[in-house]
């Protein structure tokens, strides 16, 4: 069962909402598909993102994937520790946020999946 | 599971990094049954092997192995192969899975053109192949066999039994680590596999998939035919001049290879390390200013060295260690540097 306090995308990102601040990471399903993560490339703080825009890349030993922003807004923080410890994504995928976005349109959250729907989506 | 050369094979069992580290520090087990075996036998077998391959097979004693290239008339790769001298007039060529049919047809045709009393047989279905690799490989395998493994030197082989199964065992591998490859009849291979896993349990043995096989071979600077070189790449361009028998008589591609050695070489495969934080992958383009001048043929973040490394085909002018390279990774220009090969060399050779 996926955490009920997160919202999910079909690209296997999750969002944790705190006011108008959205933390974004990838799901346990995604990290298992990727295998050992060795590199996470993230945007600079201050970058404006549109929902669905590529905000970075994640590489495992065997594959490269793009990261898509689930919401529109401005990047207010990036998880710098991932530069040295990309394996955190494998260890604690739902605790390991990649970017925090100050949302410009919180209504976009309505389009994301609940944990129940995401569970069904990946089943 | 992925399709590989017509076989369904696992990319990973416990994880690529976990498997890679097991091979570097303990022992790993690989199902490499997909590899092909083509036997060349008859009074003129040596002359045939000499004609179709780049290395000098006349230097092989019975029981000895060499790395070689099956070459086109242009000195490029039909395939890279291991040549086993089974007898005075009997050789076994171990070839890549995806190339078995192509290689067999090629060898039959070229041997026929060359003439002589030789038979060429695709014996791939007669052999299963299991590789046991890592510093503990000899200890684990020795517990199951009457063959004196310590007496088998690097790139030599012997015959005997493993766990009661008739086998040929060679001290070879594709990991840069000490280890063995065990040829058995397919019907008995599972028995050997299971016995090795059990015998290795106390030594931390891990079954390893294609993913770790690729990261291990690249860390050891071993080429992957079809990725690092193909029918458009000559043996010298691939940085493999050492598998050309320069002193032997004419063979397919000899003239071009000799010309390249004498100075006509325009490009060659080099090892590089990333200087910027990024991982270059197969197909990424090497740039000189705004001009594309080369291409990455393999690249990964290596689990043991913990470096981002790769192989790239570049102009000779950019091939010296220390040369800076610029690689275009999905539109971003990143810096790399040519480094001496191999990236990894085990501290105590067998």
Which residue of B217, B330, B334 to mutate against A (max A Cβ within 10 Å)?
Answer: B330
On whether any CB of chain A is under 8 Å from the CB of B281, the answer is: yes
pLDDT at B142 over 60: yes
B196 and B142 in a single domain? The answer is yes
Query: Which residue does chain B place closest to A38, by CA atoms?
Result: B301
Query: Which residue does chain B place closest to A35, by CA atoms?
Result: B15
Going by C-alpha positions, the residue among B95, B107, B340, B125 that lies closest to residue B226 is: B95
B72 and B117 in a single domain? The answer is yes
Number of domains in chain B: 3
Query: Which phi and psi (to 5°) does residue B86 adopt?
Result: -80, -35
B212 and B152 in a single domain? The answer is yes
Query: Which residue does chain A place closest to B330, by CA atoms?
Result: A57
CA distance B20 to B156: 25
Beta-carbon separation of A35 and B12 below 8 A: yes
Summarised one tens digit per residue, pLDDT across range B180-231 is 999 999 999 999 999 999 999 999 999 999 999 999 999 999 999 999 999 9
B65 and B134 in a single domain? The answer is no
B114 and B139 in a single domain? The answer is no
* Coil, helix or strand at residue B256: helix
Q: Which of residues 82-101 of A touch B (CB under 8 A)?
A: 83
Q: What is the ipTM of this complex?
A: 0.77
B137 and B13 in a single domain? The answer is yes
Residue B256: inside a domain, yes or no? no
B76 and B46 in a single domain? The answer is yes
Question: Taking the domain A7-114, which CATH number applies?
Answer: 2.40.50.100
Going by C-alpha positions, the residue among B3, B166, B159, B32 that lies closest to residue B94 is: B32
Query: Taking residues B331-350, what's their average pLDDT?
Result: 89
Residue B94 β-bridge partners: B37, B82
- In the structure, what pLDDT confidence band is assigned to residue B349 with cuts at 50, 70 and 90? low
Residue B111: inside a domain, yes or no? yes
Beta-carbon separation of B17 and A36 below 8 A: yes
Q: Which of residues 259-278 of B touch A (CB under 8 A)?
A: 277-278
Beta-carbon separation of B301 and A41 below 8 A: no
Q: Which residues of B fall within a CB distance of 8 Å from A34?
A: none
Boundary (domain end) residue, out of B91, B125, B159: B125
Q: Nearest Cβ partner of B16 from A36, A59, A83?
A: A36
Going by C-alpha positions, the residue among B29, B147, B173, B1 that lies closest to residue B94 is: B173
Beta-carbon separation of A61 and B301 below 8 A: yes
On whether any CB of chain A is under 8 Å from the CB of B303, the answer is: yes
B212 and B133 in a single domain? The answer is yes
B69 and B209 in a single domain? The answer is no
Per-residue pLDDT of chain A (123 residues; tens, 9 = 90+): 799 999 999 999 999 999 999 999 999 999 999 999 999 999 999 999 999 999 999 999 988 999 999 999 999 999 999 999 999 999 999 999 999 999 999 999 999 999 999 999 998
B44 and B121 in a single domain? The answer is yes
B62 and B78 in a single domain? The answer is yes
Residue B249: inside a domain, yes or no? no
Diameter of chain B measured on Cα atoms: 62
Boundary (domain end) residue, out of B73, B102, B125: B125
- In the structure, what pLDDT confidence band is assigned to residue B7 with cuts at 50, 70 and 90? confident
Q: Give rounded-to-5 percent helix, strand, coil for chain A.
A: 25, 35, 40
Query: Which residue does chain A place closest to B307, by CA atoms?
Result: A38
B136 and B184 in a single domain? The answer is yes
CATH assignment of the domain containing B183? 3.30.1360.120
Boundary (domain end) residue, out of B98, B125, B152: B125
CA trace torsion B108, B110, B116, B119 (10° rounding): -20
Residue B254: inside a domain, yes or no? no
Beta-carbon separation of B281 and A39 below 8 A: no
pLDDT at A1: 79
Residue B232: inside a domain, yes or no? no
Q: Which domain holds residue B150?
A: 2-33+127-219
Residue B323: inside a domain, yes or no? yes
Query: Taking residues B250-277, what's their average pLDDT?
Result: 96
């Amino acid at each position: 069962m996926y955490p009920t306090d997160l919202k999910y995308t079909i690209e296997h990102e999750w969002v944790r909402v705190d006011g108008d601040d959205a933390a974004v990471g990838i799901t346990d399903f995604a990290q298992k598909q990727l295998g050992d993560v060795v590199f996470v490339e993230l945007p600079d703080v201050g970058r404006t993102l549109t929902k669905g825009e590529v905000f970075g890349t994640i590489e495992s030993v065997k594959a490269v994937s793009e990261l898509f922003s689930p919401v529109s807004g401005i990047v207010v923080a990036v998880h710098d520790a991932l530069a040295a410890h990309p394996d955190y994504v494998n260890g604690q995928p739902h605790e390991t946020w990649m970017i925090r976005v100050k949302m410009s349109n919180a209504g976009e959250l309505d389009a994301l999946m609940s944990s129940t729907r995401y569970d069904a989506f990946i089943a | 599971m992925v399709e590989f050369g017509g076989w369904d094979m696992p990319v990973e069992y416990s994880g690529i990094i976990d498997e890679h580290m097991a091979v570097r520090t303990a022992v790993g087990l690989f199902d490499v049954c997909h590899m092909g075996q083509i036997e060349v036998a008859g009074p003129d077998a040596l002359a045939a092997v000499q004609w179709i391959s780049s290395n000098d097979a006349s230097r092989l004693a019975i029981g000895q192995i060499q790395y070689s290239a099956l070459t086109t008339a242009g000195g490029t790769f039909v395939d890279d192969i291991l040549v086993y001298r089974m007898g005075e007039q009997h050789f076994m060529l171990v070839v890549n899975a995806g190339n078995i049919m192509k290689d067999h047809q090629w060898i039959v045709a070229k041997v026929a053109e060359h003439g002589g009393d030789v038979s060429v047989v695709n014996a791939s279905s007669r052999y299963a192949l299991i590789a046991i690799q890592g510093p503990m490989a000899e200890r684990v395998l020795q517990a199951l066999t009457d063959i004196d493994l310590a007496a088998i030197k690097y790139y030599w082989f012997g015959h005997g039994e493993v766990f009661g199964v008739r086998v040929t065992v060679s001290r070879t591998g594709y990991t840069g680590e000490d280890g063995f490859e065990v040829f058995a009849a397919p019907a008995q291979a599972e028995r050997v596999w299971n016995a090795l896993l059990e015998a290795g349990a106390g030594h931390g043995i891990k079954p390893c998939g294609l993913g770790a096989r690729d990261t291990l071979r690249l860390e050891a600077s071993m080429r992957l035919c079809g990725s690092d070189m193909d029918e458009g790449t000559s043996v010298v361009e691939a940085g493999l001049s050492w598998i050309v028998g320069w002193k032997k008589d004419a063979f397919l591609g000899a003239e071009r290879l000799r010309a390249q050695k004498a100075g006509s070489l325009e490009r060659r495969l080099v090892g590089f390390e990333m200087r910027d934080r990024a991982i270059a992958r197969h197909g990424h383009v090497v740039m000189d200013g705004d001009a594309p001048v080369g291409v990455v043929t393999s690249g990964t973040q290596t689990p043991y060295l913990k470096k981002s490394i790769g192989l790239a085909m570049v102009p000779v002018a950019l091939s010296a260690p220390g040369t800076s390279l610029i690689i275009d990774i999905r539109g971003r220009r990143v810096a790399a540097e040519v480094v001496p090969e191999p990236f990894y060399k085990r501290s105590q050779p067998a």
